[in-house]
Structure 1
Amino acid sequence: MFHRFASHAHLMGFWKQIEPAALNIIRVTRAQSVTKTDQVPHSASATVLQPIDEFFLFMNYLSLGLMQKDLAHRFRIHQSTVSRIVNTWANFLYTVLGAVNIWLDEDTVKAHLPEVFQDYADTQVILDCTELRCQTPNSLLLQSEVFSTYKSHCTFKGLIGIAPHGAVTFVSSLYQGATGDKEILKQSGIVALLKPSMAIMVDKGFLVEDCVPCKVHIPTFLSKRAQLSRSEIRKTQSIARLRVHVERVIHRVKEHKIFSTVIPLSITGSINQLFAVACLLVNYQNGPLVKAWASNC
């Protein structure tokens, strides 16, 4: 799929929503993007793409993870022009989609609550962190900051939250891979959105009960016991079955192939925008996580 949208009609429906704003797009200029090693020759092609073609190019870059050199050949433009288009549209979509308030109030979440969540009806958001592998910096200090012991690789790490019915309702900035889940939650800003009447659902490694103002649905720990009780096993299994949906959403985000390979340091200046856009696009590109939930969405 060149753009990750469910159909061409789906793609064009999204385009119609953003087209009016695209008329006032603020472009990244040559002076902002060209480096000493990427000078544009005077003989470079001056081909100008229409806004919809630039949007399609950007979606090819995000969804297929194509090299900028490849895109330049496909669209018959200079590689430096591809770079400027990618940066321009990353900033534009980050601004436009970021202006939409994706955080839902409690009544809206409950109105769309799937039946399988009835035992955890106070769940406002299901949270999980994800990591994106990045190129190893030359600096040993930077290496220590971005190295993830969990992935045994240098990574960027972000927090994603979904409502029980599957919509992405929270996306954090990216942090260095060495940053813990608890610290990311504290710095992300989501704590300020939570109320005592709400609950969050997390994995067993997400020990955040002492830093949120609400209930936490989390699988039971064995601690020093030999085994869990039957009720604890049932609780752990039920939470695991429900929490898996945030992993499915993260999988949809990472279907944008740019995140399936090691991220080069050359695009770290725009990686936050690219990650946020990929997360927010999930709400527009796909159908419901579970077909039976279609009436709830």
Structure 2
Amino acid sequence: MTCKRSKVTFQRRENSSVRFHCCVPQCTASSKFNSVLSFHAFPKDKDVQKKWVVNIRRDNFKVTQKKRVCSRHFRCSDLIEPLNLGGRRRLEKEAIPVLFHWNNFTVPAEQPGVLKGIKTDQLHDDDPSMDAIADHYHHDYIHTSAARDHTEDLLVEIASLQKQIEEISLSSRFCLERFAASDDDIRFYTRFATHAHLMAFWRLVEPAAGKVVTMSRAQAAANTDDLFDTAGAMSLQPIDEFFLFMTYLSLGLMQRDLAHRFRIHQSAVSRIINTWAKFLDMVLRAVEIWLDKKTVKAHMPEVFQHYSDTQVILYCAELRCQIPNPYQSDAFSTYKPQWTFKGLIGMAPHGAVTFVSSLYKGTISDREILKHSGIEAFVKPKMAIMVDEGFLVENCVSCKVHIPSVLSKRAQLSGSEIWKMQSLARLRRHVEHLIGRVKENKIFSTVIPLSLTGSVNQLYSVACHLVNYQNGSLVKNWPDTD
């Protein structure tokens, strides 16, 4: 017989001088807090007492007057409620505790076999049947324990299988999370030195990124009838849209390739690239990267000790572009036999990017690019700039210019001029390394297609500014020798 038990509530007994604790394993009931439970001593009848001990599963248990079993472990029919208020609850004769945590407080079914036909009230300590009863309960305990262990093993196996399913699902998706554990992969796909570098940058732009992505998706939904496009775009989280853009910038993959990798429509790829190019360009240009003279001086590397007044090293970068139509022939470079874009980039002596100009057509002169770039507004008379020997701007700025000597009509240079030229050549290598980092992005190391001419300015600006976030310092305290 079973009975449905209501939820037990506990109330502190203020006037209780004697406190009991239930001795059943896993039961924490105490008479200190009790308005419902009653606590019952072990019966004096040795036969019934042994059954109690076997049922509560206490090995080498010594029964004393203070040991108690709470009323939760007895059937409702075994409890005799008091007739008057304040009376004590009693147990039926030969009542045995059968409701426990390990059987979910349900009465176990009667087991056939050794107990069938045995009248326990006729058993004695030396009766062989008593050993049979004990063996039966011991076997039941072992069986229950084994079942519990098997259940735990199954739960562990289920958790392991769920983890494997998640890993398989993750490995089939092209997303940032898939490569988060590999800094080599992060470097390959994004040019950030480590996953930590990438996440540090993401935390800077994330607050504004969510709004931009939401607005971009809304505009895409309003301007297209392609339901697949909108659904595909919605399948990427903002951080994975950022990862797609960085993968595009780093590897120069075709948009169709990216659509297959990220499992979205090709038009969604185009929208994501354009959105993130505009957004990052706007965010990064808003950051003041030009450093004052005092800051530059504080971070001046030892290798610049002979040129400690240098504020910025300027370099005119050229990017190859696809041959345009005849009306765009003014992009032809007179310096190199190819069609190019030119941009001015400035680096502080310790390696930070401090100036990025827009891109101009390849036919622009050094003087013109210096004038249109806006660098003149930053340099002061007491500063110095360092440039390549091909960058002829000595009379265009009010500050000092460190530039290698040229032979001109002389047959040879003096010793000091040779030393200066070699020294400047070594120092200029640092800014060449900087340009190398920018051109690690495959878009700029190959011929730029005409289809990108509308966004190449933004892409180039983002690539240049990101150098400050992606890597460590370019310039170290190298010895002044090769």
- Does residue 1:223 correspond to 2:427, yes or no? no
| Cα deviation, residue 185, structure 1 | 0.9
Task: Check whether the contact 2:301–2:476 (CA below 8 A) recurs between aligned residues.
Answer: no
| Cα deviation, residue 10, structure 1 | 1.1
1:50 corresponding residue in structure 2: 237
Deviation per CA, 1:235-284: give whole Å up to 9, x if none: 11111111111110000000011112211111111111100000000000
Question: Match for 2:443 among 229, 249, 258?
Answer: 258
- Does residue 1:170 correspond to 2:355, yes or no? yes
Task: Check whether the contact 1:159–1:173 (CA below 8 A) recurs between aligned residues.
Answer: yes
| Cα deviation, residue 9, structure 1 | 1.2
- Does residue 1:86 correspond to 2:86, yes or no? no
4+ runs deviating over 2 angstroms:
26-32, 39-45, 290-293
Q: Structure 1: state its 5+ residue gaps.
A: none
- Does residue 1:282 correspond to 2:478, yes or no? no
2:300 corresponding residue in structure 1: 113
Greater alpha carbon shift after TM alignment, 269-278 vs 204-213: 204-213
- Does residue 1:7 correspond to 2:181, yes or no? no
Task: Check whether the contact 1:40–1:80 (CA below 8 A) recurs between aligned residues.
Answer: no
> Over alpha carbons, which structure has the higher Rg?
2
- Does residue 1:199 correspond to 2:361, yes or no? no
Task: Check whether the contact 1:45–1:77 (CA below 8 A) recurs between aligned residues.
Answer: no
Task: Check whether the contact 1:136–1:154 (CA below 8 A) recurs between aligned residues.
Answer: yes
1:98 corresponding residue in structure 2: 285
The one-letter code sitting in structure 2 at the alignment partner of 1:27 is S
User: Distance in 2 between the 1:22 and 1:84 partners?
Assistant: 15
Question: Match for 1:22 among 198, 203, 209?
Answer: 209
TM-score (norm 2): 0.57
Greater alpha carbon shift after TM alignment, 107-116 vs 42-51: 42-51
1:157 corresponding residue in structure 2: 342
* Percent identity over paired residues: 70
| Cα deviation, residue 27, structure 1 | 2.5
Deviation per CA, 1:199-246: give whole Å up to 9, x if none: 000011111111101000000111110000001000111111111111
Task: Check whether the contact 1:134–1:264 (CA below 8 A) recurs between aligned residues.
Answer: yes
User: Distance in 1 between the 2:228 and 2:305 partners?
Assistant: 65
The one-letter code sitting in structure 1 at the alignment partner of 2:441 is H
User: Distance in 2 between the 1:154 and 1:245 partners?
Assistant: 26
2:373 corresponding residue in structure 1: 188
| Cα deviation, residue 290, structure 1 | 3.7
| Cα deviation, residue 44, structure 1 | 4.6
1:269 corresponding residue in structure 2: 454
Greater alpha carbon shift after TM alignment, 81-90 vs 180-189: 180-189
* Bigger RCO (CA 8 Å, 6+ sep): 1
- Does residue 1:142 correspond to 2:328, yes or no? yes
Cα-Cα RMSD: 1.8
User: Distance in 2 between the 1:42 and 1:122 partners?
Assistant: 60
